[in-house]
Amino acid sequence: MSDKPGLIRRSFRLIGGFFSAVRALINIVLLVVVVAVIASLIQDDVQPLPKHAALHIAPGGFLVEQKTYVDPFTQIMQQNSPAAAETLVTNLIEAIDSAASDGRITSLVLELDFLIGGGISKLEDIGEALARFKKSGKPIIAVGDNYTQEQYYLASYADEIHLNSMGTVLLTGYGNYPNYIKEGLDKLRINLHIFRVGTYKDAIEPFTRTDMSEASREHTTEWINALWSVYTSRVETLRDLPTDAINDYVNNLGYKLAGYDGDASALTVAAGLVDKLSTRPQMLARLQELAGATDEGGYQRIEVDQYLGHLRRAEALAVEPQTSKIGVIVAKGMILDGEQPAGTVGGDSLAALFKQARDDENIEALVLRIDSPGGSAFASEIIRQEVILTKNSGIPVIVSMGSVAASGGYWIAMGADQVWASPTTITGSIGVFGIVPTFEDSLTALGVHSDGVGTTTMADFFRLDRPMSPQAEQVIQFGVNHVYGRFLSLVAEARNSTPDQINEVAQGRVWTGEKALALGLVDRLGNLNQAITAAAETAGLDAYEVEVVEAPLDFSEQLMLELANGQVGTLVSRMPERWSPTSLVSSFYGLTKKLELLVNFNDPRGLYLNCFECMDQ
Domain ranges of the chain: 53-169+274-312, 320-445+461-569+582-614
Helix residue spans in 361-469 (DSSP H)? 377-392, 408-411, 440-445
Whether the pLDDT of residue 573 is over 50: the answer is no
Please tell me whether residue 364 adopts helix, strand or coil conformation. Answer: strand
Query: Backbone phi, then psi, for 259, in 5-degree steps?
Result: -75, -10
What's the confidence (pLDDT) of residue 604? 62
Confidence band, pLDDT 50/70/90 cuts, at residue 583? very low
Whether the pLDDT of residue 340 is over 50: the answer is yes
What's the confidence (pLDDT) of residue 234? 96
Higher pLDDT, 182 or 558: 182
Confidence band, pLDDT 50/70/90 cuts, at residue 200? low
Query: Backbone phi, then psi, for 391, in 5-degree steps?
Result: -60, -45
Bridge partners, 56 (sequence order): 109, 303
Whether the pLDDT of residue 77 is over 70: the answer is no
Q: Which residue in the list 81, 407, 429, 586 is annotated as catalytic?
A: 407
Query: Mutual orientation of helices 120-134 and 89-100 as an angle, nearest 10°?
Result: 10
Confidence band, pLDDT 50/70/90 cuts, at residue 351? very high
What's the confidence (pLDDT) of residue 245? 97
What's the confidence (pLDDT) of residue 460? 87
Q: In the predicted model, what is the mean pLDDT of residues 151-176? A: 96
Bridge partners, 192 (sequence order): 437
Query: Backbone phi, then psi, for 298, in 5-degree steps?
Result: -95, -155
Confidence band, pLDDT 50/70/90 cuts, at residue 556? low
List of residues 6+ apart from 175 with CB closer than 8 A? 224
What's the confidence (pLDDT) of residue 145? 95
Whether the pLDDT of residue 84 is over 80: the answer is no
- Nearest by Cα to 579 from 113, 115, 80, 74: 80
Whether the pLDDT of residue 83 is over 50: the answer is no
CA distance 296 to 512: 49
SS3 content of the chain, % helix, strand, coil (to 5): 50, 20, 35
Distances (CA, A) of 210 to 2, 186, 526: 74, 11, 39
What's the confidence (pLDDT) of residue 71? 55
Q: Is 201 a catalytic residue?
A: yes
Whether the pLDDT of residue 472 is over 70: the answer is yes
Bridge partners, 421 (sequence order): 525
Amino acid at 496: N
Whether the pLDDT of residue 447 is over 80: the answer is yes
* DSSP state for residue 210 in the 8-state scheme: S
What's the confidence (pLDDT) of residue 50? 81
**High-pLDDT (> 90) share of the chain, %:** 59
Please tell me whether residue 258 adopts helix, strand or coil conformation. Answer: helix
* DSSP state for residue 178 in the 8-state scheme: P
Is 358 in contact with 391 (CB distance < 8 Å)?
no
What's the confidence (pLDDT) of residue 201? 65
Same fold, 53-169+274-312 and 320-445+461-569+582-614: yes
Give the lowest-confidence range in 231-235, 343-347, 406-410, 612-616: 612-616
Whether the pLDDT of residue 553 is over 70: the answer is no
List of residues 6+ apart from 590 with CB closer than 8 A? 62, 85, 116, 117
CATH of region 320-445+461-569+582-614: 3.90.226.10
What's the confidence (pLDDT) of residue 582? 41
Q: In the predicted model, what is the mean pLDDT of residues 260-270? A: 95
Long-range CB contact pairs, 499-505, < 8 A, 24+? 502/430, 505/428, 505/430
Q: In the predicted model, what is the mean pLDDT of residues 433-455? A: 90
CA distance 340 to 353: 12
> What's the distance, CA 30 to chain centroid?
34
Whether the pLDDT of residue 392 is over 60: the answer is yes
Query: Backbone phi, then psi, for 102, in 5-degree steps?
Result: -95, 115
Confidence band, pLDDT 50/70/90 cuts, at residue 539? very high
Is 367 in contact with 528 (CB distance < 8 Å)?
yes
Higher pLDDT, 299 or 320: 299
Confidence band, pLDDT 50/70/90 cuts, at residue 590? very low
CA distance 480 to 476: 6
Is 529 in contact with 128 (CB distance < 8 Å)?
no
pTM across the whole model: 0.82
List of residues 6+ apart from 207 with CB closer than 8 A? 181, 182, 185, 192, 194, 435
Confidence band, pLDDT 50/70/90 cuts, at residue 11? low
What's the confidence (pLDDT) of residue 614? 62
What's the confidence (pLDDT) of residue 26? 67
What's the confidence (pLDDT) of residue 349? 94
DSSP per-residue letters across 543-597: S-EEEE--PPP-HHHHHHHHHHHSHHHHHHHTSPP-SS-HHHHHHHHHHHHHHHH
Higher pLDDT, 206 or 400: 400
List of residues 6+ apart from 297 with CB closer than 8 A? none
Higher pLDDT, 379 or 587: 379
Whether the pLDDT of residue 215 is over 70: the answer is yes
Bridge partners, 418 (sequence order): 398
Whether the pLDDT of residue 80 is over 80: the answer is no
- Nearest by Cα to 388 from 380, 501, 608: 380
> What's the distance, CA 472 to chain centroid?
37
Give the lowest-confidence range in 29-33, 347-351, 413-417: 29-33
Q: Which residue in the list 67, 122, 138, 201 is annotated as catalytic?
A: 201
List of residues 6+ apart from 258 with CB closer than 8 A? none
Amino acid at 382: I
> What's the distance, CA 272 to chain centroid?
32
Burial label, 408 (beta-carbon count in 10 A; 0-12, 13-18, 19+)? buried
CA distance 372 to 438: 29
Torsion of CA 46, 50, 53, 58, to 10 degrees: -30
Is 331 in contact with 550 (CB distance < 8 Å)?
no
User: ∠ CA 224-513-63 to the nearest 5 degrees?
Assistant: 70
What's the confidence (pLDDT) of residue 507? 87
Q: In the predicted model, what is the mean pLDDT of residues 543-571? A: 64
Whether the pLDDT of residue 86 is over 70: the answer is yes
Q: How many CB atoms lie within 10 A of CB 582?
A: 16
Please tell me whether residue 502 adopts helix, strand or coil conformation. Answer: helix
* DSSP state for residue 400 in the 8-state scheme: E
Please tell me whether residue 469 adopts helix, strand or coil conformation. Answer: coil
Whether the pLDDT of residue 321 is over 80: the answer is no
Confidence band, pLDDT 50/70/90 cuts, at residue 600? low
Q: Per-residue pLDDT tens for 374-388?
A: 988 899 999 999 999
Q: In the predicted model, what is the mean pLDDT of residues 105-130? A: 94
Is 380 in contact with 609 (CB distance < 8 Å)?
yes
CA distance 582 to 591: 14
Q: In the predicted model, what is the mean pLDDT of the chain?
A: 84
Please tell me whether residue 253 adopts helix, strand or coil conformation. Answer: helix
- Nearest by Cα to 127 from 100, 156, 86: 156
What's the confidence (pLDDT) of residue 601? 58
Confidence band, pLDDT 50/70/90 cuts, at residue 10? low
- Nearest by Cα to 90 from 569, 548, 564, 590: 548
Query: Backbone phi, then psi, for 551, in 5-degree steps?
Result: -65, 130
CA distance 174 to 8: 66
Q: In the predicted model, what is the mean pLDDT of residues 70-77? A: 52
Whether the pLDDT of residue 564 is over 80: the answer is no
Which of 198-209 are b and which e, b meaning 16 or more Cβ less than 10 Å from the residue's Cβ? bbbbbbbbbbbb
Kindly tell me the sign of the dihedral angle through the C-alpha atoms of 503, 505, 510, 515.
negative
CATH of region 53-169+274-312: 3.90.226.10
Confidence band, pLDDT 50/70/90 cuts, at residue 4? low
Higher pLDDT, 517 or 591: 517
